[in-house]
Amino acid sequence: MVQEDPPGGVEARLLPELFRTTDKASLDGQRETLRWYRGLIAMLVVAAVIGSFPGPDDDRSGVDPWPMLSVAAFLVAGYFWSRLRRSNPQGRWYQARAAAESVKTLAWKYTVRARPFDGEAESADVDRGYLLQVEDVLRAFEDPEIVPPDSVAEITPEMRRQRAESLSNRRTLYLRTRVEGQRTWYRSRAEACDSQAVSWGLGIAVLIIVGAAAAIAQATGALSVHLFGATSAAAAAIIAWTQLKQLGPLAAAYQLAARELENVGNQLSDLDLKVPDAEARWARLAAEAEDAVSREHTTWRARRAFPR
């Protein structure tokens, strides 16, 4: 699951307020989503564990409390599920992340004069085109929890200052801050996703072995506690959690985006700034770099709509 690190340095000064607003909305939605899902999965596992305890041997000993506790855990799980359905924080998380990354991509394209914002440093037509595209983002995400009604498209002073720099300076800024920073981020997240996937996979394997052993022990009368059901529920919970986190698909998507950025970054680095059409080549290659980032976020957003 995508969670961008807060921008720092030049990028923090460069990005408009709209990015920070949507970025915060995404992080808030992510925290709320994971909180309710953790509670939901935990309560279902608790209900299964409670149900694994045997009832009283003597029917005259009174009411068996374990089933009532399982019902209570199920009711709490139902509350968590209803919160997820009603407020849909997962949808807000993904929509706000898509909005934030759209704004970031447009801001970088404008700053480094990538297509379609190439041309002179000061151009009323380019400014108007940029602002219109940002306004399209505002219209596309109408949820006030994602984009407040008073949000406006803007060009920050840092964007204008960097746009006025020479091609050599713009290339250095873009390669160091955007391309290399984003590529490093993708690689580190891909490694983290792979590592988590392996860890959770080992956990599932252990639970399967423990559950099978418990089932054999119960069948032979050596164990009175019904651990098989509890371990099955725990394994299912881990599978549900890893599916929510989308560790495998995310790792693959991040690795692909990192490779694409590396290829485009090499082309940008090798670009001869002395040739007559250097600016035109730069505008095309920088746009391709941003498209590589946007493609990953667009795909990520499209496959994660919360069911209603």
DSSP string for residues in 196-236: HHHHHHHHHHHHHHHHHHHHHHHHTTS--S-HHHHHHHHHH
What pLDDT, on the 0 to 100 scale, is given for residue 1? 41
- Give the tens place of pLDDT for each residue, 124-137: 999 999 999 999 99
H-helix segments, the chain: 9-14, 17-51, 65-87, 89-112, 124-140, 157-163, 167-173, 180-219, 227-245, 247-270, 278-302
Decide: 85 and 138 in contact? Cβ < 8 Å: no
Note the Cα 141 to chain centre separation in Å.
17
What pLDDT, on the 0 to 100 scale, is given for residue 308? 44
Q: Give Rg (Cα) of the chain.
A: 26
With bands split at pLDDT 50, 70 and 90, how would you rate the model's confidence at 47? confident
Start-to-end Cα distance in the chain = 20
What pLDDT, on the 0 to 100 scale, is given for residue 307? 43
**Residues above pLDDT 90, as percent of the chain:** 50
Q: From residue 124, give the alpha-carbon distance in Å to each of 85, 127, 130, 155, 163.
A: 46, 5, 10, 12, 14
What pLDDT, on the 0 to 100 scale, is given for residue 60? 52
Residues 6+ apart with CB under 8 A from 152: 18
- Give the tens place of pLDDT for each residue, 213-259: 888 887 887 877 777 778 888 998 999 898 888 888 888 888 888 89
- Give the tens place of pLDDT for each residue, 88-121: 898 898 889 889 999 999 999 999 999 999 999 9
Helix (H, G, I), strand (E, B) or coil at 169: helix
Length of the chain, in residues: 308
Return the domain boundaries, the chain.
9-54+65-302
Decide: 306 and 88 in contact? Cβ < 8 Å: yes
pTM: 0.84
Q: How much is the average pLDDT of 177-203?
A: 92
- Give the tens place of pLDDT for each residue, 258-287: 898 889 889 999 999 999 999 999 999 999
Mean pLDDT over the full length of the chain: 87
Decide: 255 and 190 in contact? Cβ < 8 Å: yes
Query: If we measure between CA atoms, which residue out of 32, 119, 124, 130 comes closest to residue 84?
Result: 32
Whether the link from the prior residue into 16 is cis, omega within 30° of 0, is no
Q: Is pLDDT of 55 > 90?
A: no
Decide: 192 and 2 in contact? Cβ < 8 Å: no
